[in-house]
Amino acid sequence: MNSKKAPFPETEDEAIPRQHSGPSLAKLLNQRLSRRHLLRGGAAVALSAGLPIPLSAANSTLSSLGFGEIPHGLDTQLHVPEGYQSQVLLRWGDPLFSDSPVFNPAQQTAAAQQRQFGYNCDFIAFMPLPADKRNHQRGLLCVSHEYSSSRMFAHSPRLSAETRTGVELASHGHSVVEIRLQRAAWTVVTNSPYNRRISPLDTWMRLAGPAAGHPRLRTMADPGGTRVLGTLNNCAGGTTPWGTVLICEENFQAYFGGIATEHSEQDNYERYGIGPRHRYRWARFHPRFDLAQEPREPNRFGWVVEIDPYDASSMPVKRTALGRFKHESATVALAPDGRVVVYSGDDQAFEYLYKFVSHGRYAAGADTGRLLDEGVLHVARFNEDGGIQWLPLIYGRGPLSKENGFASQAEVLIETRRAADLLGATPMDRPEGISLQPDNGRIYLALTKNHARAPWQRNGANPHAVNRYGHILEIIPPGEDADHATTEAHWEIFALGGEGANNLPELGPAGWFACPDNLACDARGRLWIASDGATSASGIADSLWACDTLGPGRALSRHFLRAPKSAEVTGPCFSPDQRTLFLSIQHPGGGWPDFNPGMPARPAVVAIQRRDGGKIGD
């Protein structure tokens, strides 16, 4: 789901302003290219000497990738490379339980939707289970459902507004469902005791951490401020080493209507975009979404939620220590001393990148219940010299004081954005997916685009004015053992979106990408890049690309998968053996995947495999 803040008028002016003090884009790119050529050794020498190397031959020699690139295009089908196959595994409305009603789009109800796979699938985690007696691979597919859409009701014009609202609520949240690999195909186990639907309609959650119980989180329905009904707009997410799933509340502002009379929250609402521009009409039937009746309900959203997928009766927990903003991704890394670090972006134009560092240390088998409740949230300042300073958001330190309206750490967290403003964090071009490279601990951050950046607002890490195609940053923690817990790091521009942007002669004709959103690293450390918005930016379908992160194929992206038109690609997730890639195809058009006139197009999770059973990408 896109969100934009446009505090400044859009401009087409790409000229480099005199007052811009950072390195020019040309200089940055030249530095990058010289590093890449050094890394590539002989092949790069041949290229720089002007020797003719056919594009495809050069690409296949330099890269570790073993698949043939698919062309750009735009149609109603999903395309994968030769030698690969895709299986539609779970569509909106598919049954998750033995007693789930058959999906009927003309007569959908909230009760039915609560027993069925939700809408607009996004983040995916595959949480392994022991193989069954026949040695079939098993796992729990954990899938977030980001938001509902009027497209859901294209085949049900007679549904009342109240019924629609109930269906919308029930279609949000998260699904946990057991899947099993049988005869090279994944099947859904509808009678599994692990299966559950989590939704804002009926799933209670516990608030934990410094903001739990704070008066600004108390409502008429929850006078203690510690229990909240459901989760909203769950976009990218993450997993923890202790087997839980982190889901992120992104555009939570869209759901609250009515006129607030509690003026003490006005600035807070404004900073998060809560108010007159709400997208949903839920307040009409559910008073908690009405600001006039429950003015503090929005403070109970915008958090990271931890779910134990192995216990369908467990209560999800909102971890307030990780801050309140439009979270996209909660990517977990372990520091060498065992502290837990969670990276998360605030996906809106000119918002920030954050990381939480736990006080406690992770040890396998030890209690992990408070690891995400006690620690320090930091926000990133990207310096022009390639350094990053992680600025701690601690009440009482620097400007985070009573003079600036903060009375406690809880208030710093409730108004995370304002606290980060005061610290001087670097406004980014919409931080989206974040991935950890497992071999060397580097972090990749997708900045999807930012049309509103004016020339004078550019900086080294966000070098484009009117950034239409986005870019990907690489964050390098210090030390050979990649210490994620320190307050220093380095950044590089890994790749720029847009045709010809990286000046890579070895790139295949469809190797350039646009509008990177979700990222995933595979076990070989390769980066997989999913896009959202490539069609409006560049006229190509949203897609999935892959590239090496190190060696001669570094940043040499290759086009792997093309989504049906109108869809974005989200949630890339590999099975532990790397032989299946799960992907969410969100908001498809053209009747995909049923191509049945009686059925709307349906968001769905697909499973991609090699026909010969080999590892994806090799």
Choose between 100 and 535: whose C-beta lies nearer to Ca ion.
535
- What single-letter DSSP state applies at residue 514? -
Tokens coding 23: 């390195």
Choose between 294 and 568: whose C-beta lies nearer to ligand FEO.
568
Please give the Cα distance from 324 to 308 (Å, whole number). Answer: 21
- Among 69, 249, 250, 411, which residue interacts with ligand FEO (rule: CB under 6 A)? 250
Q: Indicate whether 522 belongs to the interface with ligand FEO (CB under 6 A).
A: no
Q: What ranges in 154-202 are assigned the alpha helix state H?
A: 161-171
Choose between 339 and 355: whose C-beta lies nearer to ligand FEO.
355
Q: Indicate whether 429 belongs to the interface with Ca ion (CB under 5 A).
A: no
Tokens coding 232: 């909203």
Is the link from the previous residue into 241 a cis peptide, with omega within 30 of 0? no
Please give the Cα distance from 591 to 579 (Å, whole number). Answer: 29
Choose between 306 and 432: whose C-beta lies nearer to Ca ion.
432
Question: In terms of C-beta density within 10 A (0-12 exposed, 13-18 middle, 19 or more buried), how is residue 451 classed?
Answer: middle
Choose between 316 and 533: whose C-beta lies nearer to ligand FEO.
533
* Among the listed residues 422, 438, 483, the one whose alpha carbon sits nearest the alpha carbon of residue 578: 438
Choose between 430 and 554: whose C-beta lies nearer to ligand FEO.
430
φ, ψ for residue 265, nearest 5 deg: -100, 5
Please give the Cα distance from 251 to 233 (Å, whole number). Answer: 6
Choose between 178 and 346: whose C-beta lies nearer to ligand FEO.
346
- Among 207, 235, 340, 567, which residue interacts with ligand FEO (rule: CB under 6 A)? 235
Q: Which does 483 bind (CB under 5 to 8 A by kind): ligand FEO, Ca ion, none?
A: none
- Among 249, 532, 542, 548, which residue interacts with Ca ion (rule: CB under 5 A)? 532
Q: Which does 351 bind (CB under 5 to 8 A by kind): Ca ion, ligand FEO, none?
A: none
Q: Indicate whether 351 belongs to the interface with ligand FEO (CB under 6 A).
A: no
Please give the Cα distance from 556 to 294 (Å, whole number). Answer: 51
Choose between 70 and 235: whose C-beta lies nearer to Ca ion.
235
φ, ψ for residue 140, nearest 5 deg: -105, 125
- Among 94, 146, 429, 506, which residue interacts with ligand FEO (rule: CB under 6 A)? 146
- Among 1, 47, 177, 245, which residue interacts with ligand FEO (rule: CB under 6 A)? 1
Choose between 245 and 371: whose C-beta lies nearer to Ca ion.
245
- Among 347, 351, 411, 474, which residue interacts with ligand FEO (rule: CB under 6 A)? 347
Please give the Cα distance from 337 to 542 (Å, whole number). Answer: 40
The residue count for binding Ca ion (CB under 5 A) is 3
- Among 235, 527, 537, 616, which residue interacts with Ca ion (rule: CB under 5 A)? 235
Choose between 344 and 609: whose C-beta lies nearer to ligand FEO.
344
The residue count for binding ligand FEO (CB under 6 A) is 8
Site residues for Ca ion, 492-531, by CB under 5 A, read 517
Q: Which does 537 bind (CB under 5 to 8 A by kind): Ca ion, ligand FEO, none?
A: none
- Among 222, 294, 297, 328, which residue interacts with ligand FEO (rule: CB under 6 A)? 328
SS3 69: coil
Quote the least distance from Cβ 197 to Ca ion, whole Å: 21
Give the burial string for 45-55 (b: 16+ CB within 10 Å, else e): eebeeeeebee
Quote the least distance from Cβ 442 to ligand FEO, whole Å: 22
Amino acid symbol at 247: I
Quote the least distance from Cβ 408 to Ca ion, whole Å: 32
- Among 168, 308, 432, 548, which residue interacts with ligand FEO (rule: CB under 6 A)? 432
Q: Indicate whether 429 belongs to the interface with ligand FEO (CB under 6 A).
A: no
Please give the Cα distance from 193 to 21 (Å, whole number). Answer: 59
Quote the least distance from Cβ 585 to Ca ion, whole Å: 13
Question: In terms of C-beta density within 10 A (0-12 exposed, 13-18 middle, 19 or more buried), how is residue 490 classed?
Answer: middle
Quote the least distance from Cβ 349 to ligand FEO, whole Å: 11
Contacting range for Ca ion; rule: CB under 5 A; set: 15-23, 69-77, 349-357, 532-540: 532-540
Q: Which does 146 bind (CB under 5 to 8 A by kind): ligand FEO, Ca ion, none?
A: ligand FEO
Q: Indicate whether 306 belongs to the interface with ligand FEO (CB under 6 A).
A: no
Q: Indicate whether 373 belongs to the interface with Ca ion (CB under 5 A).
A: no
The H or E element spanning position 125 is: strand 121-129
SS3 227: strand
Asked if 555 and 546 touch (Cβ cutoff 8 Å), the reply is no
* Among the listed residues 50, 82, 77, the one whose alpha carbon sits nearest the alpha carbon of residue 66: 82
Choose between 166 and 427: whose C-beta lies nearer to ligand FEO.
427
Contacting range for Ca ion; rule: CB under 5 A; set: 93-101, 233-241, 279-287, 376-384: 233-241
**Long-range contacts: 550-553, Cβ < 8 Å, 24+?**
550/39, 550/439, 550/440, 550/525, 551/39, 551/40, 551/64, 552/39, 552/40, 552/41, 552/43, 552/44, 552/61, 552/62, 552/63, 553/62, 553/63, 553/64, 553/65
Choose between 327 and 378: whose C-beta lies nearer to ligand FEO.
327
C-alpha 173, offset from chain centre? 14
Q: Provide CB contacts within 8 A for 223, sequence distance 6+.
A: none
Query: For the chain, how many residues are written?
Result: 618
Chain residues in the site for ligand FEO (CB under 6 A): 1, 146, 235, 250, 328, 347, 432, 517
Residues that bind Ca ion (CB under 5 A): 235, 517, 532
